[in-house]
Structure 1
Amino acid sequence: MQGYNVLMIYNKDMDRLLMCTRLKNPYIGLSNLVGGKIEVGETGIEAAYRELLEETGILKEDVRLNHLMDFKYYLQHCYVEVYFGKLKGDVMISGDENELYWSELNKDFFDMSLYAGEGNIGHMIEQVNMSKDILLVDP
């Protein structure tokens, strides 16, 4: 079963979410979160930090990722690990796989004509909103 990750990266003020516009299928032209494959021999968190650096240029030192939830798709033989993080400060983002941008949070992330993931992005954002008090406590 192939593993993937999805990274929900918020700015330090928690009022913007890092997103990308997909440049290839699936979901070409739609907004999505960043992420990618979990490679053989990698833990989920190792893959999350690797993909974050590869796709955005954000360093591990810039954000602490929290494992928020998982989705398992039995018919597609894959699973997705969802990670959440709030940046510790301002960072420069750069990537060439997709067009990166900071989204305001007053959008309808359930709108499947604009956002990838069959409504999952909206669901994940709601889970973060419900759990901010827990997620934002520093260890």
Structure 2
Amino acid sequence: MNRVEYEIPVRCRGIAVVLLKRFEDEYRVLLLRRSTPVLRGLWCYIGGGIEAGETSWEAAIREVREETGITKVDLYNSNKFDQFYSSADNYIYLAPVFVGYVNDDQDVALNHEHSEYRWMTFGEAIDSAAIPGNDEVLRFVEKHFVKRTPTEWLRAVPKG
């Protein structure tokens, strides 16, 4: 008897962004409380879809601007992915995670998707992050983007 194998589709249609801002002597992470039906009331970092004609880093910059009002961000590719399996639709979702350093003069202005925000310590953010796997992403970002200086090779926005 021949067995037919089936592949689970992988979809990569979105991005995630972890924003960092220095407060005195430590970096803090921006988490937003969702107010829309998807993930309502849960704390998350920035995420969103990639629109037609955009690169993933362009989508990351747009989503940061739309969700937080922040227009100046030093953006890096983290080389990490948000991921989950949708049992309802039988696919694996992957989203590249970007890390953005925010200048002191940038304030947050939330859009309709969120009800509040907090710049959290990494400990607070890891304890508050709603989706399994977000804690791993945050630990990774702390290790490679806070405790170390990222290499220019990871800079997301091309110079020029």
TM over 0.5: yes
The structure where strand makes up a greater share of residues is: 2
1:65 aligned counterpart, secondary structure:
strand
The answer to whether structure 1 residue 65 and structure 2 residue 75 are counterparts is yes
Consecutive unaligned residues of structure 2, counting only runs of 5 or more, are 1-10, 156-160
Normalised to the residue count of structure 1, the TM-score between the two structures is 0.80
Provide the C-alpha distance between the structure 1 equivalents of 2:105 and 2:42, rounded to a whole number of angstroms.
26
- Displacement over 6 Å in runs of 4+: 136-139
Superposed, which structure 2 residues align to 1:1-139 within 5 Å?
Answer: 1-13=11-23, 14-59=26-71, 62-68=72-78, 69-71=80-82, 73=84, 75-96=90-111, 97-98=113-114, 99-107=116-124, 109=126, 111=127, 114-118=128-132, 120-132=133-145, 133-135=148-150
Offset from partner CA, 1:76-114 (integer Å, 9 cap, x none)? 3532110112213231110222022222222262x5xx4
What is the distance in 2 between the residues matched to 1:123 and 1:77?
Answer: 18
**What TM-score does the superposition give when structure 2 sets the normalisation length?**
0.71
Query: Which runs of 5 or more structure 1 residues have no equivalent in the other structure?
Result: none
- Between Structure 1 and Structure 2, whose CA radius of gyration is higher? 2
Change (3 A) 1:108 1:72: closer
How far does residue 73 in structure 1 lie from its aligned partner after superposition? 4.9
Aligned residues: 133
